Structure 1
Amino acid sequence: MSTQYDVVVIGGGPAGTAVASGLKAKGKNVLIVESDLWGGTCPNRGCDPKKILLSAVEAKVAAQNLQHTGLTGVPDVDWPALMAHKRGYTDKINDGTLAGLKGQAIDTLHGEAFFQADGQLTVDGTVIATNDVVIATGQRPAILPVTGHEYFKTSTDFLDLDTMPKRVTFVGGGYVGFELATIANAAGADVHLIHHNDRPLKEFDQTMVQALMANLTDAGVKFDLDQDLQSITQEADGLHLKTATGFELVTDLVICSAGRVPNDDHLGLAHVGVQFGRHGIAVNDHLQTTNPHIYAVGDVSDTPIPKLTPVAGFEARYVVGQLTQPGAPIDYPVIPTQVYAAPKLAQVGLSAAEATAQPDRYVVNDLDMTTWFTYYRFSAKQALAKVVVDQTTGQAVGATVLSDLADEMINYLTLLIEQRLTVADLQRLVLAYPTPASDLQYLY
């Protein structure tokens, strides 16, 4: 194996593999380095396995909604069988990803990359020389520094549980907490979600978050808000959690779901003049770090863009272009974000709160779609939407959706916003009916 490369990519997840494949196709001599599982977080221990587990939740909720309107009996979640189904997918990711890279004749190394000096790094002692480097090392679950923090488990552990404990507690009310609490509750656990203030999912519309929490509360999830966890102790009857206000809870499993931290603290970045902090590696609008020969893409970079797998892919394609034919600054499209709970919560573009602050320009259509045919047909418990329309152009510029179909609807709305379509534009199309897409003209 050569030790001199045009580009070294650090991180074998969605961003890193996309960069390596793209550069190899452009004729670059590339090495990709991974210290853990090939394929990265998303397919191994993130979005993909979570969505597999969620499939059972969706089926159970659908059956619950149709009780006495076409179905009798609600299925139980068979956790070991569901986990086996998940592992049937995830167990193949590492070897499959590595085989795919080797099939493209991309050099690979498994080990810890560490910068020694400009143009030089080591991978577990092997010295590598390179012209440019792309860092795509992602993030890892944060662990709160409370007394007894060693008792915390993470989303990684939850997504590979052999059995579901009777009592499960999540500490942190972000995406991960809500999604995994939804799964654990549907699987029969007694679920608590502890959050340090009264505003979980703070990036989302407040009224929609409250509606989601009401749905989850009805399903059995218990929310303990304004509770700042102080300690975890192991006792005979389980793990004892105590907060600053004196609130106490006994549980069998406690998951720290209080965000994620960038994997940027073990690379020797100070040796090559790369600035980084708790939000990740600083980059400019060309995704270059403070060292112009080193780029950072995906979750490890400090950008205001949501940390999502498709964003990592978008940035990877951009950096491939920059390293082969440098051009304009990166220009992001509108990016949807969502919470895979029950129901699902999704948003894109301008928020209702931002629009309300500019009433002369924007109007917010606040819609209760629960009785619309799309949702009535499967007895949906609730379906809500807020759509922001620019009054001067008639174009949708933002949306928030809460429903069992929110993940599908948000993609339609993203296309409408990105393509700047008006109601008149939509009505020039004939879409299959009755479907969620045929509802779009009524959202403006």
Structure 2
Amino acid sequence: MTEQYDVVVIGGGPAGNAIASGLQAQGKSVLIVEADLWGGTCPNRGCDPKKILLSAVEAQQAAQHLQHQGLTGTPTIDWPALMAHKRGYTDGINDGTLKGLQHQGITTLHGQAHFQNDGQLAVGDQVVSATDYVIATGQRPAILPITGQEYFKTSTDFLDLDEMPKRVTFVGGGYVGFELAAIANAAGADVHVIHHNDRPLKAFDADLVQDLMATMTADGVTFDLNTDLQAIEQTDDGLQLTAPDFELTTDLVISSAGRIPNADQLGLENVGVTFNRHGIQVNDRLQTANPHIYAIGDVSDTPVPKLTPVAGYEARYLVQQLTQPGAAITYPVIPTQVFAVPKLAQVGLSATDAADQPDKYRVNTLDMTKWFSYYRFGARQAQARVIIDQASGQVVGATLLSDVADEMINYLTLLIEKHVTLAQLQQLVLAYPTPASDLQYLY
């Protein structure tokens, strides 16, 4: 007998868990299906474990900044101990997430979901049916289709390494490549980042990306730009990477060339749902071409960054839609960041776009390296580009490069979203001296 539910959620990551919990609280009967680890990518093999590893890098960097300025001796990273610290967190995610869902009264099922020709959903040998379905299956690392692609490892493998190899190479200069390169370099590896053109991190301010690369290069990371990798071959000395006029031997090669949506194994063609390399196609109510099937989070093709907080935002919106239908989704301003060393963060209008309308926007380019907030801990790099709407005097965009860019970008996000002018900001008294007390000088 086919089990019937109000809603079946496919994917037990941040987006799926959030919508399942929200719908259950609204009295809906909910089944959630997960094919891999409960909790999804972010806490198991993504943002959270990455940030745990980065914590040791940040501590090491802080000590290096203050060498002979109050500190003597730089700590070294004990990779096995750091990995044990990471696993102390990640090892409990799967079971803890599953128990949390079950405690809420949400029915759970483990297995690969696949829509059948009759529109019902098969999970293994079990068939379930629902009034509505929500797909929240996320993304997975892309593997470049080159000769020897079987030698590629991914970010999943890197974030669970027992030992750090002597030589590590990342193929792809996006978020993942920069972030993991910074970690591997700090842990003592000889690190290369290979990128097919001369513009890695293309969504970010080009000048600040160059500044970030210069700092990472000074720390020992080698960037091999305009290098279109063609083959990987196992040799006696390691893995040999080849491209036109380029050869490199390494011990570990990570494909960091983006991510692809987990949409190809769901049988979507059987229920009239379409997808492309950007994800499942949805309308402005997160609804697919099939009116009873929705997609949220990283698997959906939406015009916003693929981030965990965005997945949660979409889940909360869709809970409302499935209980009390209303207006189309609108997104707030969304910050993005690269947890490299130093950190690069951006929100709102870019300096490039602002430069096309000089009568409308003013771009403040600031070198903050000698400002007290950065001088006190010996920062090597603290840069900002802040975009001001000249008519309103409000901040409408910013890009930051510093050790505290991840903190500062949230402050700027609030200033943009709440349309705060300098005069309004100066009506507040903020703790001093802190990065927040510097905000008034960014206008």
TM-score if structure 2 supplies the norm length?
0.99
How far off its partner does 1:129 sit? 1.1
Deviations 1:158-193 (A, max 9, x none): 000000000000000000000000000000000000
Equivalent in the alignment of 1:315 = 314
Structure 2 residue matching 1:439: 3-state secondary structure: helix
How far the C-alpha of 1:303 sits from its partner, in A, is 1.1
The SS at the match of 2:116 is strand
Aligned residue type for 1:295? Y
1:246, 1:386 → 2: CA distance?
Answer: 37
Tell me which residue corresponds to 1:430. 429
Q: Quick one: which amino acid aligns to residue 275 of structure 2? A: F
Deviations 1:382-434 (A, max 9, x none): 10000000000000000000000000000000000000000001000000000
Is 2:183 the counterpart of 1:194? Answer: no
Counterpart of 2:69 in structure 1 is 69
State how far apart, in whole Å, the 1-side matches of 2:165 and 2:112 are. 35
User: Which blocks of at least 5 consecutive residues in structure 1 are unaligned?
Assistant: none
Once residues 168 and 85 of structure 1 are traced to their aligned partners in structure 2, the CA distance between those partners, rounded to angstroms, is: 22
8 Å CA contact 1:364–1:388 kept in 2: the answer is yes
In structure 1, distance between residues paired with 2:104 and 2:65: 48
Aligned to 1:391: 390
- The question of 1:55 aligning with 2:52 is answered no
- Counterpart in 2 of 1:39? 39
C-alpha contact (below 8 Å) 2:119/2:270 kept by paired residues? no
How is 1:8-27 mapped onto 2 (pairs within 5 angstroms)? 8-27=8-27
Q: CA deviation at 1:118?
A: 6.0
What SS class does the counterpart of residue 340 from structure 2 fall into? coil
SS of residue in 1 equivalent to 2:49:
helix
Q: For the Cα contact (< 8 Å) 2:141–2:259, is it kept in 1?
A: yes
Q: Which amino acid in 2 is paired with 1:25?
A: A
Aligned to 2:204: 204
Provide the rounded CA distance (Å) in 1 between the counterparts of 2:101 and 2:435: 39
Aligned residue type for 1:434: P
The alignment status of 1:267 with 2:262, answered yes or no, reads no
Give secondary structure in 2 for the equivalent of 1:168: strand
> Aligned partners of 1:275, 1:36: CA distance in 2, in Å?
23
Cross-structure match for 1:85: 85
Superimposed CA distance per residue, residues 127-149 of structure 1 (whole angstroms, 9 cap, x where no aligned partner): 10110000000000000000000
Q: Which residue of 2 aligns with 1:300?
A: 299
- Aligned partner of 1:213 in structure 2 is 213
Secondary structure at the counterpart of residue 392 of structure 2: coil
Structure-2 separation of matches of 1:58 and 1:83: 16
CA distance, structure 2, for counterparts of residue 70 and residue 312 of structure 1: 43
By how many angstroms is 1:304 displaced? 1.6
Matches within 5 A, 1:300-379: 300-379=299-378
- CA–CA distance in 1 between the matches of 2:66 and 2:258? 35
Q: Which residue of 1 aligns with 2:146?
A: 146
Residue 313 of structure 2 aligns with an amino acid whose one-letter code is F
Partner of 2:229: 229
Alignment match, 2:96: 96
Q: Do 1:119 and 1:131's aligned partners in 2 also have CA atoms closer than 8 Å? A: no
In structure 2, list runs of 5 or more residues that go unmatched. Answer: none
Distance across 2 between alignment mates of 1:330 and 1:169: 40
- For residue 160 of structure 1, give the secondary structure of its aligned residue in structure 2: coil
Q: Is the 8 A contact 1:119 1:132 kept in 2?
A: no
Partners of 1:168 and 1:252 within 8 A in 2: yes
Q: Which amino acid aligns with 2:371?
A: W
Secondary structure at 1:355 match in 2: helix
Q: Which moved more, 1:43-52 or 1:1-10?
A: 1-10
Q: Distance in 2 between matches of 1:35 and 1:235?
A: 36
1:5 alignment counterpart: 5
- What residue identity is the alignment partner of 2:441? Y
Distance in structure 2 (CA, Å) of the matches to 1:242 and 1:289: 42
Tell whether the 8 Å contact from 1:119 to 1:130 is kept in structure 2 after alignment.
no
Given that residues 9 and 133 in structure 2 are in contact (C-alpha distance below 8 angstroms), is that contact kept between their aligned partners in structure 1? yes
Determine whether 1:256 maps to 2:223: no
Question: Do the aligned residues in 2 keep the contact of 1:178 with 1:339 (CA within 8 Å)?
Answer: yes
2:176 corresponding residue in structure 1: 176
CA distance in 1, matches of 2:202, 2:72: 38
SS across alignment from 2:331: coil
Q: Distance in 2 between matches of 1:433 and 1:118?
A: 64
3-state DSSP of counterpart to 1:229: coil
Which whole-Å CA distance do the structure 2 matches of 1:340 and 1:263 have between them?
25
What's the counterpart of residue 286 of structure 1? Answer: 285
Q: Distance in 1 between matches of 2:342 and 2:218?
A: 12
Instruction: Quote the residue 1:415 is aligned against.
Output: 414
**Amino acid across the alignment from 1:340:** F
Letter of the aligned partner of 1:53 in structure 2?
L
Identity rate, percent? 76
The amino acid across from 1:306 in the alignment is P
Aligned pairs for 1:119-134 (under 5 A) are: 119-134=119-134
TM-score when normalising by structure 1: 0.99
Alpha-carbon distance in 2 for matches of 1:414, 1:55? 24
Task: Give the Å deviation of 1:246.
Answer: 2.3
- Does the CA contact (< 8 Å) of 2:2 and 2:129 recur in 1? no
State the one-letter code of the partner of 2:273. V
Partner Cα distance (1:2, 1:423) in 2: 61
Contact 1:63 1:75 in 2 (8 A): yes
Please report how far the alpha carbon of residue 207 of structure 1 lies from its aligned counterpart in structure 2 after TM superposition.
Answer: 0.1
Give the CA deviation at 1:7. Answer: 0.2
| 2-structure distance, mates of 1:399, 1:257 | 26
Supply the distance in 2 between the matched residues of 1:312 and 1:2 (Cα, whole angstroms).
Answer: 30
Q: Are the counterparts in 1 of residues 35 and 110 from structure 2 also a CA contact under 8 Å? A: yes
Q: In the comparison of the two structures, how many residue pairs are matched?
A: 443
Give the partner amino acid of 1:264.
A
- Residues in 1 aligned to 2:388 and 2:120: alpha-carbon distance in whole angstroms: 52
Query: In 2, Cα distance between the equivalents of 1:131 and 1:119?
Result: 11
Per the TM alignment, residue 438 of structure 1 is displaced from its structure 2 partner at its CA by 0.2
